[in-house]
Amino acid sequence: MKSLLLALLATGSLFAGEKATLTLADFTDGNGGAPGAGWKTEEGGVIHLAPQKGTGFLISKKEYSSFEMEWDWKLDAAGNNGIKYWVTNIKDAKGKGEWLGIEYQMIDDDKHPDGLKGGSHNTGSIYDLIDSAKDKLKKPIGEWNHSRVVIKDGKIEHFLNGKLCSSVDTKSDEWKAAVAKSKFKNKKDFGPGHGKLMLTEHGDPCWFKNLTITEL
Task: Write the pLDDT tens digit of every residue in 103-125.
Answer: 999 999 999 999 999 999 999 99
Domains of the chain in sequence order: 18-215 (2.60.120.560)
Query: Pick the residue with more confidence: 2 or 196?
Result: 196
Q: For the residues 139-159, what does the mean pLDDT come to?
A: 97
Question: Helices then strands (H, E): number in the chain?
Answer: 2, 13
Q: Decide if pLDDT at 10 tops 50.
A: no
51/37 Cα distance (integer angstroms): 8
Query: Pick the residue with more confidence: 91 or 154?
Result: 154
With cut-offs at 50, 70 and 90, classify the pLDDT of residue 1.
Answer: low
* Of 3-17, 45-59, 179-193, 195-209, minimum mean pLDDT range: 3-17
Q: For the residues 189-215, what does the mean pLDDT come to?
A: 97
